Amino acid sequence: MLEGINLHAIRGERSLFKRLNFQIKAGECLLVQGENGSGKTSLLRMIAGLMPSSDGAVFWKGSPIAQLGDDFRRELLYCGHLLGLKNELNGIENLVASACVAGNSVSVPIAIEALRRSGLQGKEYLPVRFLSQGQKRRVSLARLLLQPRALWILDEPLAALDVGAVLWLTGVVDAHLELGGVVVMTSHQDLRLACMPQVIRIDI
């Protein structure tokens, strides 16, 4: 479903990686590893169509994503380093607004249930500025429960999560893969998925 051919990333005058290739089928996970500054986030942004490759192309279901445009974006959910939350809004309001921007309609009760499933019961109405970093990330990751997308791109989703939240996220990712979804993620930590991910390591 997802393929990268001869991808090349350049930052300034420095080549981060080149001739990078991968092929991911439905129900598979691609784990991108490497040191800080090696180009992991750049690769994820290329796959999401947010950054062009200096060479090669990314394909989704056999077609270059550059040609698919909105058709590709409607099948994509990207969770980056920045959590994409409004600090003055509570978790419910953030989830409803995020879904609206993505073209989905999410009711307040459904948003509340997603937050409770992510471990935030009792904190649904708190403005996110009062939440810890781990709790804020839980709010951001709760979007995975609300926005049906075939391709998930997760940049360091385990950052600031405690053991319980890691176990919850593992279950969510496993369920997505079992339904034939595709996951691309970076992580410095070990996410013990039911299926063995395909690993790409980018070295400096």
Nearest to 165 by CA among 184, 185, 189, 148: 189
Q: What is the signed CA dihedral for 91, 92, 98, 104, rounded to 10 degrees?
A: 150
Q: Is 15 helix (H, G, I), strand (E, B) or coil?
A: strand
Q: 190 and 161 in contact (C-beta within 8 Å)?
A: no
Residue 204: which pLDDT band, with cuts at 50, 70 and 90?
low
pLDDT at site 81: 82
Domains and CATH numbers, the chain: 1-75+150-204 (3.40.50.300), 85-148 (no CATH)
pLDDT in tens, 125-170: 999 999 999 999 999 999 999 988 999 999 999 999 999 999 999 9
pLDDT at site 37: 84
